[in-house]
Amino acid sequence: MRTCPSCGNEVTGRSDKKFCSHYCKSSFHYVKNREDENNLFRKIDGQLKLNRRILKEYNKGGKAMVRIEVLHDVGFDPKYFTSYWKSKGGGVYLFCYEYGFKQMEDNGKQKYLLVQWQDYMN
* Residues near Zn ion, by CB under 5 A: 4, 6-7, 9, 20, 24
- Closest to Zn ion by CB, 23 vs 41, is 23
Q: How far is the CB of 37 from Zn ion (least distance, A)?
A: 23
Contacts of 114 (CB under 8 A, 6+ apart): 55, 58, 59, 63, 64, 65, 66, 99, 100, 101
- Closest to Zn ion by CB, 6 vs 59, is 6
- By C-alpha distance, which of 45, 48, 59, 44 is closest to 112? 59
- First-residue to last-residue Cα distance in the chain: 63
Q: How far is the CB of 15 from Zn ion (least distance, A)?
A: 17
- Closest to Zn ion by CB, 24 vs 71, is 24
Q: How far is the CB of 21 from Zn ion (least distance, A)?
A: 6
